[in-house]
Chains A and B, each alone.
Chain A
C-alpha cells in the first residue's frame, strides 16, 4: 500500500482528536481525544519507519516506545488531577474552569 494511505488515516485520526478536544466538555472524553491524537502519531511514525531505509527506520519505531512511556506517565498524573477535581465538585465538566477568569 502507498504511504499516503497511512498518512491520510493518521491525519484523520489526529483531526478527530483535535475536534474532540475543542468541542467536548467532559474532561475524561477530552483526555481520550488527546490519547487518540498521540496514537495517530504512533501510527504515522511506524508507517514512516517502514518507508525509510532500515538504518533510519529503527529511529521511528524507537520513538513510538518513548511516546508510549510518556503517555502512560501523563495518564497517571492526569487521572489523578481529574479525580482530585471530582472529589471537590462532583463533576468532570470543564465548563467549571471558567470560574478562574474572575
Chain B
C-alpha cells in the first residue's frame, strides 16, 4: 500500500517538477531519488512497517508474493532510470512528463500485483496501458513512432473491450467481482463463467503478447523510441504477468481442468512462433521484440504449472529477464546502427561493454552460471512436476536451444567480425559501472538464486 500511494504521488511531483525546474539534471535526480524511496518503502512494508493503511474493502491485498514482485519491479526501474534516463532527453521536449508517466505505470503495476477484485484488475491494466500509448508515440516527429502508437492504442483498447465483456459475464454468473467469490464452486458451472474466463484469458494474453495475440508486439516495439521499448518489454511485461498468474491462481483455480490445456497450447504456440521468427530478424531491436515474445512463453509455463514452485520460478524469471534485457537495451540505445552488422567489431572498440553484453545475452539464452539458466530451470521443473503433458517441458527445452542461435549471432558479430566504420560511441563512467554491477548481479543470481527467493518466506 505504501508503494502504491507513493508512486501515484511521485507521478504528480514529476509533472510539477517539469514546470518549476528548468534543469534536466535536477528532474532526473528527483526521479531517481523517488525511485529509491519507492524501493525503500516497499522493502519496509515487506518487513512489517506500514505507514498508511486505507480500507479497500478487501479489494487490494498486498501479500509477500506481491511485495517481493513489486520490489523487483522497482529495483529494475531504478536500474533502468540510472542507465537510460539521459537518453530520454533525446526523445522529445517533455522530459518530466515521460518520467511522470513511468511513475503512473508503476502505480498500475502495484495495483495489478495485489488485486483481489476484478475492478482493481481492470483499473490497474488501464493505468498501465494508457500511459504506454503516450510513451509509444512520444517521438512526435517520427512517423514510425506515430504509427506504432496508433496501432497499439487501437488494438489495446480492443482487448480492453474483450476483458470488460469477460468481467461482465463472470459477474453475471457469480454476482461478485471478488476473486475468492469467483473461485467458489456452488452448483452447476454456468456457461457464462466459462465464456467470461476465456475472454479474460485472451485479453490478458494480448497484454503480455502471447501467440496468437502477439502480432502487435514487433511493430510496436520496433516503432516506439528505443528507451521506452526497453521499459515496455521488461518491466511492464513482467508486471502484467503477475496479474495473469494471480487471476488464474485465485480466481479460476477450481476450473483448472477447463483452462489447463488451452494455456498449454498458447504456451507452445508462443514458444514456437517467438523463437523461430526471431532467428530470421535482421535488426537487433526487432530480434529483441521477438525474444520478448519467446520469453513470455517461458513465463507462461508458470501459469500452466500453477504451484508454489512456479511462483518462485516467476519471481526469478522476472528478475533475470528484466535485468538482462534492460542491460542489452541500455547498450543498444547508444548504438547508431540497430542491425546485427552494427555490432561488428564492438569487442575491439569497447571491450568492457562487449563483455557485459555477452553476459546478458548468455543469461537470456539460459546458459549455466547466469540468472537466466536458474529461471528456466525452475520453470521447466515446475512444469514437469505438475502436468500430465510431458511434451510441453520438452518443447520448452528445444526452444531454449533454438534461442541460442539468435542470441549468439550478436556475440559472434561483436567478437569475430571486423568493423568497417570507427566507433562513435560515448559513455560516461557511471554508465559503465552500473552496467558492470548489473552483470555481476546476473551472475550472482545464477549461482545463488536463493538470495532472492528467501525473501518470499522470511
Residues of chain A having any CB pair with chain B under 8 Å: 3, 7, 14, 17-18, 21, 27, 30-31, 34, 37-38, 40-41, 44-45, 48, 51-53, 56, 59-60, 62-63, 66-67, 70, 73-74, 77-78, 81-82, 84-85, 88-89, 94, 96-97, 99-101
Contacts and interface: CB of A to CB of B under 8 A. Distances in A.
Nearest to B219: A100
Given A41-B165, A100-B219, A78 B146 contact: no
Given A67-B164, A100-B144, 5 more contacts: A7-B172, A37-B164, A81-B133, A82-B150, A88-B146
Interface stretch (B151-159, B244-252, B360-368): B151-159
A33 B401 CA distance: 43
Q: Which 7 A-B pairs have the closest CB atoms?
A: A37-B161, A52-B175, A56-B175, A41-B164, A48-B172, A100-B219, A44-B168
In this complex, the interface size class of chain B, counting residues with CB under 8 Å from chain A, is: 35 or more
Given A81-B149, A85-B150, A45 B168 contact: yes
B147 interface: yes
Nearest to A48: B172
Nearest to A7: B172
Contacts of B260: none
B192 to A, nearest CB: 8
Contacts of B151: 94, 97, 100
A53 B161 contact: no
B222 interface: yes
B119 A66 contact: yes
B171 A45 contact: yes
A99 B119 CA distance: 37
B290 interface: no
A62 to B, nearest CB: 7
Nearest to B192: A7
B61 to A, nearest CB: 17
B119 A63 contact: yes
Contacts of A56: 175-176
B209 to A, nearest CB: 16
A56 B174 CA distance: 10
B150 A94 contact: yes
Contacts of A67: 122, 164
B409 interface: no
Contacts of B167: 41, 63
Contacts of A45: 168, 171
Contact of A100 (B123, B158, B176, B222): B222
Contacts of A37: 158, 161, 164-165
A41 to B, nearest CB: 4
Interface of B: 119, 122-123, 126, 130, 133-134, 137, 140, 143-144, 146-151, 153-154, 157-158, 160-161, 164-165, 167-169, 171-172, 175-177, 219, 222-223
B172 A34 contact: no
B146 A70 contact: no
Contact of B126 (A48, A70, A82, A100): A70
A97 B136 CA distance: 14
Contacts of A30: 154
A33 to B, nearest CB: 9
A34 B157 contact: yes
Contact of B157 (A7, A78, A84): A78
B153 A78 contact: yes
A22 to B, nearest CB: 9
A77 B154 contact: no
Contacts of A31: 154, 157
Nearest to B164: A41
A23 to B, nearest CB: 13
Given A88-B143, A89-B143, A101-B219, A34 B158 contact: yes
Contacts of B160: 38, 74
Contact of A99 (B123, B147, B164): B147
A78 B133 contact: yes
B140 A21 contact: no
A20 B146 CA distance: 23
Contacts of A101: 219
Contact of A77 (B133, B146, B223): B133
A52 B172 CA distance: 8
B171 A100 contact: no
B164 A100 contact: no
Contacts of B126: 70, 73-74
5 contacts: A17-B161, A44-B172, A84-B137, A99-B143, A100-B151
Given A59-B176, A70-B122, A97-B147, A77 B171 contact: no
A74 B154 contact: no
A40 B161 CA distance: 9
A21 B158 contact: yes
A72 to B, nearest CB: 11
Contact of B137 (A21, A52, A81, A99): A81
Contacts of B172: 3, 7, 44, 48, 51
B146 A84 contact: yes
B161 A59 contact: no
Contacts of B175: 48, 52-53, 56
